[in-house]
Amino acid sequence: MDEALSNGSEGAPAAITLANAFATSPSPMLVTDARAPDHPIVWANAAFLAHTGYGLDEVQGRNCRMLQGPGTDAAEVARLRDAVTTGRPVTSELLNYRKDGTAFWNAMTVTPVHDERGLAFFFAAQMDTTHVHQVQLAMRNSRDELERQVAERTRDLSHALEQKTALLHEIDHRVKNNLQVISSLMLLKARRTPEGEARDALEGMAERIGALSIAHRLLYSEEDSTHFALTEFVGELLSDIDTGMADDRVGIETRVDPLKLPASMAAPLALMIHELVSNALRHAFPGGRAGRVSVTAWRTETGMGVEVRDTGIGIAQCPPNEAGFGRGLVEMVTRQLRGSVRWADTAPGTRVEIAIPLRSTS
């Protein structure tokens, strides 16, 4: 090729300089004869020979496929062959093999060279990109290892969460059972106690403990042990109250937004709603008076609001109960929930409004 570049040409010195530059270039380079059968190698620089481990006499006259091996991409070889067949320039990257069998990634730019008769040679400038693939492989392995560790940690956390959920459900189940036993014992004692303040107090405490038992029963049935659905919670609670204090004269109505609340609020809310509704049913409709009790709960900007309203005789008309502590209990659990309560005589009826802040209103 050096002779072809220099003989009989006015630009011979420049061609010789260019040929010398190619020959001494640190980048592997070779030239194939486009007019000879099978495009044999006719020239290769020292960098190519040093990189592949072949001598010049071992590569001259042979096709570049000599560098291919079992890991070489056949589809990429076909693309490269098609470009050479049609005389087009092409850029490609192949897994090649040195004389000693070691593999390397070979990125090459193959350029057709024409003379006055047309396509004469193909010039290929090459670059070893093995280090790039090694970095990519290392990154891929690191990513795979990280994903494996994340998946393993996720499995561990999921298992721990399942165990925690099962434990919390079991606790709720046992607490519910224990509260039911205590409530039953108190009711049994109340039946054996003469009518009066002591009996009323025992029955009232048994009902309140029963409300707590319902709260834990509902928490036990929730899939999420950390939260509960307020709509179903209030519905179950009021259904139990309605069953225990059934009276066709007085209806119970509910309108509750679908809120998810922390499990820690279940017991205080159960006590609060049970106390307000049961007191309304017990005291607001004396003498066979008809009416209704409504429970409303809704989302607010800062948390939730709860309203319990009845159409009974009103606070002012209810006889005082020195032994009762229902109002005090409602105010106590409201403070426990960091909320505020307001009592109003609506003449007729009573309205109790409670505002409860929430960290999250989801």
Contacts of 158-165 with C-beta under 8 Å, sequence gap 24+, read: 164/225, 165/224, 165/225
Residue 267 parent element (H or E): helix 266-283
How far is residue 163 CA from its own chain's centroid?
A: 20
Alpha carbon of 129 to those of 31, 89, 137, 263: distances in Å? 20, 20, 12, 59
Q: Which residue has the tokens 């919390």?
A: 168
Query: Which residues share a beta bridge with 357?
Result: 303
Prior bond to 70 cis, omega within 30?
no
User: DSSP assignment of 159-218, as one string?
Assistant: HHHHHHHHHHHHHHHHHHHHHHHHHHHHHHHHHTS-TTHHHHHHHHHHHHHHHHHHHHHH
CA distances from 194 to 93, 190, 197, 199, 283 (A): 98, 8, 9, 6, 21
> Which of these, 120, 124, 57, lies nearest to 94 by C-alpha position?
124
Predicted local distance difference test score (pLDDT) of residue 4? 43
Q: Which residues pair with 31 in a beta bridge?
A: 43, 123
pLDDT score recorded for residue 3: 47
> Radius of gyration (Cα) for the chain, nearest Å?
44
Q: Per residue of the chain (362 residues), give pLDDT as tens.
A: 444 444 444 555 665 676 788 888 899 999 999 999 999 999 999 999 999 999 999 999 999 999 999 999 999 999 999 999 999 999 999 999 999 999 999 999 999 999 999 999 999 999 999 999 999 989 999 998 898 999 888 888 877 777 776 777 677 667 767 767 776 777 777 777 887 778 777 777 777 777 777 777 777 666 677 788 888 888 888 887 777 666 778 888 999 999 988 888 888 888 889 889 988 888 888 888 888 999 999 999 889 999 999 998 887 776 655 545 678 889 999 999 999 999 998 878 899 999 999 875 44
Give me the sign of the Cα torsion angle 255, 250, 217, 186: positive
Q: Please state, as a whole number, how many other Cβ atoms lie within 10 Å of the Cβ of residue 298.
A: 13
Q: In a 3-state reduction of DSSP, which class is residue 77?
A: helix
CA atoms within 13 A on the CB side of 247: 21
How far CA 84 is from CA of 34, 72, 169, 273, 352, in Å, comes to: 9, 18, 72, 85, 89
pLDDT at res. 76: 95
Instruction: Return d(Cα 351, Cα 315) in angstroms, integer.
Output: 9
Tokens 């630009």 appear where?
Answer: 11
pLDDT of residue 236: 84
Write down the pTM of the prediction.
0.52
Phi, then psi, of 286 in degrees rounded to 5: -75, 160
Per DSSP, the three-state class of 361 is coil
For helices 197-221 and 230-244, angle between their N-to-C axes, nearest 10 degrees: 150
